């Protein structure tokens, strides 16, 4: 944008008006679609960097002009690559050198200095057409996708998993603990009548009385390894502690129930099996394909992903309107058999090592 004083003759405006727009208008006539074409000049905000990033995030196709190796452009190009946006990179034909780290990736030489617009449209026709057809980020090369095998936004599911677990389990179960019949929510909480798990109606459970519900806590056990969140680990709890069901408003939530013999704490217990899907995210972040599960690199990335899940879950809990009570009655524990076991989890460790 260094030639902004040229106004309508600025390079980006000429590239947009004489090359990109005519190609997209032809596509529009054929496919009954519509493109809005913008340059940074058209964004009009007071914070150009924020406006450019916003535009990149919303774009279906990005054309990046790498002419003159402008640092701002390469910064923005990194964001484009991270988001996995279809990107067509161009450079002025007379420029002899492009930054070395992009030499391995495709870019197109065009001649805007000589106003060779027809030739530029011929050069960019196929890549524009391909970007229009393809919505699959895997079809576009860039250093980020080459390394992670996906855009960065696809890499860590920890935030979305924590949000889903909070909204679909933690919050409604907590509200079941504090709201009784006749209040805003109508919930029952029951405990299995025997150690053999089987489908039952809520009436076949031992329903908790108001006094027990008033002392009830929710204990969330986050394992130190993703593999420990799989069903076979949750199944180890079955037969050792009874199952529990929370039912109300047409939804049913299942977990476990434990009454401590020493401190008389009544607790619903849950192992968030949802985090098992993070194995794919860990695999994508390893330096090499087929990195063994349990290797030092694997364990380092795995620890980061599990910590992100726990951190985001705690942040969601802090946003609840009953946060103070929720913080007192919903407790998060990390269980890692390779580390010293907290006294609160000795009971769990004795089950898991069998």
Mean pLDDT computed over 215-226: 92
- Summary mean pLDDT of the chain: 86
Partner residues linked to 334 by β-bridges:
222
Mean pLDDT computed over 120-139: 90
127: pLDDT strictly greater than 90: yes
250: pLDDT strictly greater than 80: no
Q: In percent, how much of the chain has pLDDT > 70?
A: 92
Output the six-digit token pair for 72.
Answer: 């701002």
H or E segment and range at residue 189? strand 187-191
Tens digit of each residue's pLDDT (9 = 90 or more) over 160-212: 999 999 999 999 898 888 776 555 546 788 888 765 555 566 667 788 888 88
pLDDT at 200: 60
105: pLDDT strictly greater than 90: no
Quote the CA–CA distance of 190 and 91 in Å, as a whole number.
68
pLDDT at 63: 96
Quote the CA–CA distance of 44 and 55 in Å, as a whole number.
12
pLDDT at 249: 66
Q: What is the DSSP letter of 32?
A: T
Higher confidence at residue 265 or residue 279?
A: 279
Mean pLDDT computed over 241-247: 87
Please determine, looking at this structure, whether the domain spanning 4-146 carries the CATH number 3.40.470.
no
pLDDT at 16: 96
Cβ atoms of 278 and 309 closer than 8 Å: yes
pLDDT band at 99 (very low <50, low <70, confident <90, very high): confident
pLDDT at 44: 74
pLDDT at 186: 61
* Site of tokens 């390893």: 286
What residue segments make up the domains of the chain, in order of their start? 4-146, 158-352
Q: What is the DSSP letter of 242?
A: -
pLDDT at 268: 94
Tens digit of each residue's pLDDT (9 = 90 or more) over 275-334: 999 998 898 888 787 889 999 999 989 998 999 999 999 989 888 877 788 888 999 999
Tell me the pTM: 0.72
């Amino acid at each position: 944008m260094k030639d902004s004083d040229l106004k309508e003759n600025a390079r980006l405006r000429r590239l947009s008006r004489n090359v990109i727009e005519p190609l997209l208008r032809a596509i529009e006539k054929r496919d009954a679609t519509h493109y809005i074409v913008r340059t940074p000049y058209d964004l009009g905000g007071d914070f150009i960097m924020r406006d450019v990033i916003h535009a990149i995030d919303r774009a279906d196709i990005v054309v990046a002009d790498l002419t003159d190796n402008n640092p701002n452009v390469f910064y923005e190009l990194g964001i484009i690559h991270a988001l996995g946006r279809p990107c067509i990179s161009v450079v002025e034909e007379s420029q002899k050198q492009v930054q070395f780290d992009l030499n391995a990736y495709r870019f197109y030489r065009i001649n805007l200095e000589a106003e060779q617009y027809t030739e530029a449209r011929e050069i960019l026709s196929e890549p524009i057409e391909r970007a229009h057809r393809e919505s699959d980020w895997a079809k576009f090369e860039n250093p980020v996708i080459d390394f992670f095998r996906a855009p960065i936004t696809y890499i860590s599911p920890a935030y979305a998993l924590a949000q889903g677990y909070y909204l679909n389990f933690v919050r409604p179960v907590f509200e079941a603990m504090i709201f009784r019949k006749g209040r805003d929510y109508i919930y029952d909480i029951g405990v299995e009548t025997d150690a053999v798990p089987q489908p039952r109606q809520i009436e076949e459970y031992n329903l908790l009385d108001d006094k027990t519900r008033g002392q009830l806590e929710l204990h969330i056990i986050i394992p130190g390894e993703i593999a420990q969140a799989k069903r076979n680990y949750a199944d180890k709890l079955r037969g050792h502690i009874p199952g529990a069901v929370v039912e109300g408003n047409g939804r049913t939530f299942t977990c476990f129930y434990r009454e401590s013999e020493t401190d008389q704490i009544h607790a619903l217990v849950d192992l968030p099996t949802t985090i098992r899907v993070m194995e794919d995210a860990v695999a994508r972040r390893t330096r090499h394909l087929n990195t063994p599960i349990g290797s030092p690199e694997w364990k380092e990335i795995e620890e980061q992903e599990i910590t992100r899940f726990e951190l985001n879950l705690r942040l969601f809990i802090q946003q609840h309107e009953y946060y103070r009570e929720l913080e007192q009655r919903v407790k998060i524990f990390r269980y890692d058999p390779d580390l010293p076991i907290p006294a609160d989890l000795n009971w769990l460790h004795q089950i898991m090592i069998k």
